[in-house]
Amino acid sequence: MPPFSGRTIHFGAFNVTSQVFHTSPHSFALVNLKPLLPGHILVSSLRVKPFLSDLSHEELSDLFLTVTRVQKTLKRLYKADAFNIAVQDGEAAGQSVKHVHCHVIPRSKGDAGGEDKVHEWLEGEEGDVGKHQSEVEGSERKVGEWAKDEERKSRTMEVMEKEVVWLKEEMEKDAQGETESNTGKL
């Protein structure tokens, strides 16, 4: 079962409700079908709008606040030293789904993404999230229903579902900590 069963969340034309592990007033965070590196996730606006400049100040602010909240949890879980944060803001910049989304990619020294690899993947077929969504999402697929056409894809969905539940729980722990410390900082 997706963790936000009462709500349908769209990423462009795709129903990604099952991939969402966090929501905020104006944004949501979803796991990737094919992460470039472990912990590679996307943060997107709840409103389906193509460009950063289409968002209100409040939505924009909420989007990047959500990015930093997710970073906090990913940093802890993946022992990340750093992050690549990237928005392909329009098709000519490599955007494959016409909906504002920010790539959040945990990095550590000496990881497989070094020497340009992360960025190479991001712009290449490996980072084409639209293509990946198309592969698993038929037009008749319903919320929470997995694509059944290939064993590989089903397995990915199973792994992904576990990741969603795990990240959701871990995000909640950090949110709790944030409320308790109440420092006004991230």
Question: In this structure, what DSSP letter does residue 13 have?
Answer: T
Q: Minimum Å distance from CB 56 to a copy of itself? A: 6
Q: Cβ distance 32 to 14 under 8 Å?
A: no
Q: How far apart are the first and last CA of the chain?
A: 30
Site membership for a copy of itself, residue 78 (CB under 8 A): no
Q: Is 186 near a copy of itself (CB under 8 A)?
A: yes
- Tokens matching residue 46: 């709840």
Tokens of 128: 């084409």
Task: Count other Cβ atoms within 10 Å, centred on residue 179.
Answer: 8
Find tokens 């198309």 and name the residue.
134
Only segment of 9-17, 75-83, 155-163, 168-176 that touches a copy of itself (CB under 8 A): 75-83
| Residues numbered 109-148 forming contacts with a copy of itself, rule: CB under 8 A | 109, 111, 115-116, 118-120, 122-124
Is residue 72 near a copy of itself by the rule CB under 8 A? yes
> Catalytic annotation on 101?
yes
Read off the DSSP letter of residue 59.
H
Residue among 167, 26, 50 at smallest CA distance from 104: 167
Residues 25-64 vs a copy of itself: string with x where CB under 8 A? ---------------------------xx-xxx--xx-xx
Where does this chain bind a copy of itself (CB under 8 A)? 52-53, 55-57, 60-61, 63-65, 67-68, 71-72, 75, 80-95, 105, 107-109, 111, 115-116, 118-120, 122-124, 184-186
